């Protein structure tokens, strides 16, 4: 555990991490001036004290990749020496060389740098279907002065989320249906106007937040004949007020996670809601999908954080009349909204709980001799209800994966120390390097309490054979979640495709579910003719009183397959069946979208599905919000 001498360094690291998350303050150079003067909006936000400074511009393509994950300037490449490096300046890994990655990549997937599958360099406009425009609607929309566009780039950018097949289609395929129009409302009232017009002219509205969906939720239904309007909430990104007495903030739903955190930090607060996608995903998106954050053990998941929701539906605006912390007023109507995935309306404003920024943050990690012991430890931690802000357990494959992302060490001393650590764990303690696994920890709070808490957790870990393995390993584990999506793009340059998916499962089933699903993936790959053994790995990412959230990474080398995406889909489908057969849920936080609709009925029963249908029928009888998710 950390000695006092390097605590300043720790703080440095903690700050560094905050910098990653909120480190994109620079105004994009060519950010457009707002064309519209939204007087009404201003009036509504009269007492607003914070300046409007969103990270994501209207022209997303100016800073984000059009056919992959994240920022244009950040990506993994193999340099001339054949070593992997991560470009850009935004992340801790940026500008670093990762000497072990290539070997891991080649060994794990049987891939080779000689076999490349580069993406096409630019979008071919002729491949994008021409827009279907409802003239009456367009006329009326012009009358509102709300900015909109039907440029090809704007439309294609909002035609997809980040499912494998969507990214693959961007790289070398095509979309059957993309939005016909993109509109940027500036405030709640703009949204109301747009929805009214949509109802009047019977067009289809698809709300679009951060576009980080991995459930096909923003994919346009190919049989939609009406005009599809993509309602981009990115310009509704203001904090309207902060209530320090009640520790709440009222925020427009289009704000992305990192902006929300940064702006609140300026006032000394945070929400503590940190989903892995927080750089790009929005508050409204979190509400619409029932999102979960890494630090939910302290701050709660989105359903615990939300105090008030305002949503525009074809029937009108839905919201509650007060902000009481808990109510017994029939079924909670917010629970119809959370997880509605854009099928009922647009979330425009949310009151969310805030907390003072914690005094102290500390990473940590524990090595266990095997996955079983690790899970037993997490279960005990959950039982004693002493889980730190975050506790995650990687299996052996993922541990090795994490090691492949170690940057070049700067001094001989560090590499000597690494060697010594490895020797101690494998030789002296007798851990099998092909069995051991690592838990990563993040503590947060008062300094003293953190240290106390840390001791408690490490003491429990010791009972399960766990050895403290330093802060560095812990931090690298969390870094992995931010760069994993970038890594997928690298893989796709070399015949490797992959995806992650998640579930939640009761404690007693965790081990069986993990091993059966991994085995199923391996077996399905073999049966479907995949030529190379796949990467099939998992980790436990959240602990609850009654169970855990489990995350799977699955990737394989598709050389020799004629239709890799179809094969991939079949295998993921089989893996989901296996999850359900082993007592896992359909989703812990990714949502259902269109990808997992197939199983919703058996998950929530016929009556349950009927209940949701009847709500949809009442709220949106003409299916204006026709993205086809969920039901």
Residue numbering of the annotated binding site for substrate: 488
Based on the shown chain and the rule CB under 8 A, indicate whether residue 580 belongs to the binding site for another protein.
yes
Residue 253's CB is within 10 A of a number of other CB atoms, namely 26
Selected range binding another protein among 228-236, 481-489, 575-583, 610-618, rule: CB under 8 A: 575-583
Please, is 103 exposed, middle or buried when counting C-beta atoms within 10 Å of its C-beta (0-12, 13-18, 19+)?
exposed
| Strand duo 269-270 + 306-313: pairing | unpaired
Based on the shown chain and the rule CB under 8 A, indicate whether residue 516 belongs to the binding site for another protein.
yes
CB of 506 to another protein, least distance (A): 8
In the complex with another protein, which residue's Cβ is closer, 359 or 512?
512
Based on the shown chain and the rule CB under 8 A, indicate whether residue 583 belongs to the binding site for another protein.
yes
CB of 605 to another protein, least distance (A): 12
Based on the shown chain and the rule CB under 8 A, indicate whether residue 581 belongs to the binding site for another protein.
yes
Question: Token digits for 282?
Answer: 């929005």
Catalytic residue set: 551
Selected range binding another protein among 95-103, 248-256, 397-405, 505-513, rule: CB under 8 A: 505-513
**Binding-site residues from annotation:** 207-213, 276-282, 289-292, 341-347, 488
Based on the shown chain and the rule CB under 8 A, indicate whether residue 327 belongs to the binding site for another protein.
no
CB of 523 to another protein, least distance (A): 8
What number of chain residues touch another protein (CB under 8 A)?
13
Based on the shown chain and the rule CB under 8 A, indicate whether residue 267 belongs to the binding site for another protein.
no
Element (H, E) at 612: helix 600-619
Based on the shown chain and the rule CB under 8 A, indicate whether residue 573 belongs to the binding site for another protein.
no
Selected range binding another protein among 218-226, 475-483, 557-565, 576-584, rule: CB under 8 A: 576-584
Contacts of 15 (CB under 8 A, 6+ apart): none
Instruction: Tell which positions 585-624 bind another protein, by CB under 8 A.
Output: 602
Based on the shown chain and the rule CB under 8 A, indicate whether residue 512 belongs to the binding site for another protein.
yes
Q: According to DSSP H, which parts of 271-325 are helical?
A: 283-289, 296-299, 302-305
Single out the residue of 171, 218, 215 nearest to residue 67, CA to CA.
Answer: 171
The DSSP bridge partners found for residue 352 are 249, 306
Based on the shown chain and the rule CB under 8 A, indicate whether residue 513 belongs to the binding site for another protein.
yes
- Residue of 52, 447, 509, 597 interacting with another protein (CB under 8 A): 509
**Binding-site residues from annotation for FAD:** 207-213, 276-282, 289-292, 341-347
Q: How far is CA 104 from CA 3, 402, 405, 410, 473, in A?
A: 33, 10, 9, 21, 18
Selected range binding another protein among 514-522, 530-538, 550-558, 619-627, rule: CB under 8 A: 514-522
Rounded Cα distance between 257 and 277, Å, is 8
Residue 62 has what DSSP assignment? G
Residue 424 has what DSSP assignment? I
For 538-559, give the DSSP string: EEEEEE-SSEEEEEEEEEEE-T
Rounded Cα distance between 108 and 565, Å, is 20
CB of 509 to another protein, least distance (A): 7
- Residue of 238, 273, 295, 520 interacting with another protein (CB under 8 A): 520
Q: Which positions lie near another protein, rule CB under 8 A?
A: 508-509, 512-513, 515-516, 519-520, 580-583, 602
């Amino acid at each position: 555990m950390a000695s006092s001498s390097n605590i300043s360094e720790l703080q440095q690291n903690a700050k560094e991490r905050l910098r990653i998350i909120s480190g994109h303050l620079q105004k994009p150079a060519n950010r457009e001036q707002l064309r519209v003067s939204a007087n009404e909006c201003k009036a509504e936000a009269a007492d607003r004290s914070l300046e409007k400074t969103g990270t994501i511009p209207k022209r997303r393509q100016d800073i984000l990749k059009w056919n992959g994950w994240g920022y244009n300037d950040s990506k993994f490449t193999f340099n001339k020496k054949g070593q992997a490096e991560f470009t850009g300046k935004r992340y801790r890994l940026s500008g670093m060389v990762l000497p072990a990655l290539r070997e891991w990549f080649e060994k794990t997937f049987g891939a080779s740098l000689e076999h490349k599958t580069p993406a096409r360099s630019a979008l071919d406009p002729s491949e994008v279907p021409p827009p279907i425009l409802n003239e009456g609607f367009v006329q009326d929309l012009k009358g509102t002065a709300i900015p909109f566009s039907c440029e090809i780039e704007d439309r294609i950018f909002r035609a997809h989320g980040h499912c494998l097949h969507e990214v693959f289609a961007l790289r070398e395929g095509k979309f059957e249906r993309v939005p016909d129009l993109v509109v940027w409302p500036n405030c709640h009232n703009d949204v109301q106007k747009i929805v009214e017009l949509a109802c009047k002219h019977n067009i289809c509205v698809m709300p679009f937040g951060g576009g980080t969906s991995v459930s096909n939720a923003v994919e346009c239904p190919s049989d939609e004949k009406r005009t599809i309007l993509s309602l981009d909430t990115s310009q509704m990104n203001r904090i309207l007020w902060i209530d320090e007495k009640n520790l709440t903030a009222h925020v427009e739903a289009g704000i992305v996670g990192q902006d929300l955190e940064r702006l609140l930090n300026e006032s000394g607060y945070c929400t503590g809601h940190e989903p892995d996608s927080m750089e790009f995903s929005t508050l409204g998106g979190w509400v619409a999908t029932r999102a979960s954050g890494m630090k939910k053990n302290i701050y709660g998941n989105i359903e615990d954080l939300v105090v008030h929701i305002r949503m525009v539906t074809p029937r009108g605006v839905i919201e509650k009349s007060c902000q009481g912390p808990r109510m017994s007023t029939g079924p909670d109507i917010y629970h119809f909204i959370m997880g509605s995935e854009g099928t009922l309306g647009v979330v425009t404003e949310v009151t969310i709980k805030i907390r003072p920024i914690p005094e102290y943050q500390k990473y940590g990690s524990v090595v266990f001799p095997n996955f079983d012991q690790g899970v037993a430890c997490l279960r005990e931690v959950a039982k004693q209800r002493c889980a730190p802000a975050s506790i995650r357990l990687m299996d052996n494959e993922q541990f090795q994966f994490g090691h492949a992302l170690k940057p070049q060490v700067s001094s001989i001393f560090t590499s000597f120390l690494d060697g010594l650590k490895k020797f101690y764990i494998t030789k002296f303690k007798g851990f099998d390097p092909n069995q051991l696994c690592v838990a990563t920890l993040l503590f947060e709070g008062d300094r003293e309490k953190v240290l106390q808490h840390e001791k408690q957790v490490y003491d429990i870990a010791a009972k399960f054979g766990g050895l403290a393995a330093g802060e560095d390993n812990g931090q690298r584990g969390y870094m992995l979640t931010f760069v994993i999506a970038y890594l997928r793009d690298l893989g796709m340059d070399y015949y490797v495709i992959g995806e992650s998916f998640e579930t939640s499962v009761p404690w007693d089933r965790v081990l069986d579910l993990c091993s059966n699903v991994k085995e199923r993936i391996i077996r399905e790959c073999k049966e479907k003719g995949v030529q190379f053994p796949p990467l099939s790995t998992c980790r436990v990412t959240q602990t609850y009183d009654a169970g855990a959230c489990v995350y799977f990474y699955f990737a394989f080398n598709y050389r020799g397959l004629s239709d890799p995406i179809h094969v991939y889909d079949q295998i993921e489908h089989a893996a989901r069946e296996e999850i359900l057969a082993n007592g896992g849920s359909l989703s812990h936080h990714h949502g259902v979208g269109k990808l997992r609709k197939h199983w919703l009925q058996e998950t929530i029963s016929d009556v349950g599905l009927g209940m949701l249908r009847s709500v949809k029928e009442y709220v949106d009888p003409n299916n204006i919000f026709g993205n086809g998710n969920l039901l």
